[in-house]
Structure 1
Amino acid sequence: MRPTLPSSARELTDADEELVDLARRAIDENTDAGPDEEGVHTMGAAVRAADGRVFTGVNLYHFTGGPCAELVALGAARAGGAREITVIAAVGNHGRGVVGPCGRDRQVLFDYHPDIRVVLPTPRGPRSVAIADLMPLATAWSMEGGSVPAEG
């Protein structure tokens, strides 16, 4: 049975493809793991801000749960003055292709950028999807209100 894609799933735009390429370049230029080796830097991510600027990051693996590439890219964007992020893509090293965000990253994306689109691998190739579709029955969080059921 073929998985059903959410209604928000869209084919990648040229700008989305460029974002995937930038994430791939970020990890290809910075991975510390050879083929079939584990490493500290094995994932690259790129985010696009509403103003069109792009920021990249690579993960920092650590046994305590070091930051994923997606969170590093979000931090780089914030440090660069970007406040609204519209799309994010992550890519594995050694040609592993697009990789969807882990649960922690999905929650962070949902909380800080509820309108963001996420590039995911699907049976039909990479697609961008609204973060809300990756968070069924989500709990939203904010500094002011803590955790509350997300409106849906």
Structure 2
Amino acid sequence: MTDQELVERAFAMHQFSYAPYSRFPVGAALLCEDGTVFTGCNVENAAFGSAICAERTALLKAVSEGHRDDWTTLAIAGRGQDYCWPCGSCRQMLYEFAPDLRVLAARGDGTFQEALLSELLPCGFGPKSLA
């Protein structure tokens, strides 16, 4: 799967987003080594702390289906003018499983930028930190 196709899969998840408060739908698509793609969208809640981001939705789907150590690339797509990078909570959750994950951050016009998760969360805290 190309990076462009993965970004398009993330954009396709906007249709399932539940964002009545922010009105900012976000979609994510997480690619595994075997070609499996787990998608997600943001789901907001009136108790704002209970909301979940699109990338954590995709992460939880992957983990719950046995994919924990084979992630290669994550695409995140928002509708805004800025690139849609993962928030701090998402960076921490992703780091637990894939510190060197490639992250593609797309903005509303479909263009995207790439960075490694380890660049987005330098000196991250993960399982090896507990050893």
TM-score tier, shorter chain, comes to 0.7 to 0.9
Structure-2 residue corresponding to 1:129: 115
Equivalenced residue count is: 124
Structure-2 residue corresponding to 1:60: 43
Q: Which runs of 5+ in 1 are unaligned?
A: 1-13, 147-152
Out of 61, 71, 88, which is 2:74 matched to?
88
| Deviation of the 1:76 alpha carbon | 1.1
Structure-1 residue corresponding to 2:86: 101
RMSD: 2.7
1 or 2, which has the higher strand percentage? 1
Distance 2:62 2:23 in 1: 22
Out of 47, 61, 64, which is 1:79 matched to?
64
Q: Does the aligned pair in 1 maintain the 2:21–2:44 contact within 8 Å? A: no
Distance verdict in 2 for CA 1:41–1:75, change over 3 Å: farther
Residues 58-94 of structure 1 show CA distances to partners (whole Å, capped at 9, x for unaligned) of: 11113114211100001111223322211111112xx
Q: Which runs of 5+ in 2 are unaligned?
A: none
Out of 17, 32, 41, which is 1:31 matched to?
17
Structure-1 residue corresponding to 2:34: 51
1 or 2, which has the higher helix percentage? 2
| Deviation of the 1:103 alpha carbon | 1.1
TM (norm. structure 1) is 0.68
| Deviation of the 1:48 alpha carbon | 0.1
Which letter maps to 2:34? D
**Higher Cα Rg: structure 1 or 2?**
1
| Deviation of the 1:121 alpha carbon | 5.0
Distance verdict in 2 for CA 1:32–1:59, change over 3 Å: closer
Structure-2 residue corresponding to 1:112: 97
TM (norm. structure 2) is 0.78
* Identical residues among aligned pairs (%): 32
Q: Does the aligned pair in 2 maintain the 1:60–1:66 contact within 8 Å? A: yes
